[in-house]
Structure 1
């Protein structure tokens, strides 16, 4: 435990010494440098700036197109219609329902007529996509 504390203190002291040494070098180099004046003239829109704008517009368009396609595919997947058959093994009775995929939740679902159906653990569910 003591060695961990000593190593931590040693690292902190080393970092402080290193930072002070770097600061002293920077201050010495600032004092010895001479200043030069540089004149910058404004340039008209160059070829590279036009390319950057074109690339930015292309990336934005591609992002919007991808988002729209994904939203449409998700909507289409949620609105697939399924024919649901519930089989009761005790009585042999079979019930048929139709529901959209977005309305299926585990062993409960809402049919296209608005009827909410909860299926017991004993009953068997069979799903078939309506084409």
Structure 2
């Protein structure tokens, strides 16, 4: 299967497929005598795994590790569980940070008259930075 066929089948661009190969998430692909990449079913499965991991917000480095675990039939599920638990902690931290950003921005929006005046507490808040909790 060529890269265009894989792209259509999976729903990602050829550029992203080449990117995943260049960063080491997808193993080097065999090439035809004309130099075209020739993808096999194992590459499609790996790409689908990468896409699923990406939706869970794993980084490229984390995905490399997950791929190693996935492809290692002698792995311990305890290793996978510990890795996933650490990622949950990271995601929860990010959620808390995002909720804080929403609250700060909401305060600024609520304080904005939204009229023809040039006075803008939203821009003032952004200028002060998020370390200041009071408007």
Q: Same fold (TM over 0.5)?
A: no
What TM-score results when the alignment is normalised by the length of structure 1? Answer: 0.30
Q: Which has the higher helix share?
A: 2
Larger radius of gyration: 1
What TM-score results when the alignment is normalised by the length of structure 2? Answer: 0.29
Task: Name the structure, 1 or 2, with higher relative contact order (CA <8 Å, separation 6+).
Answer: 1
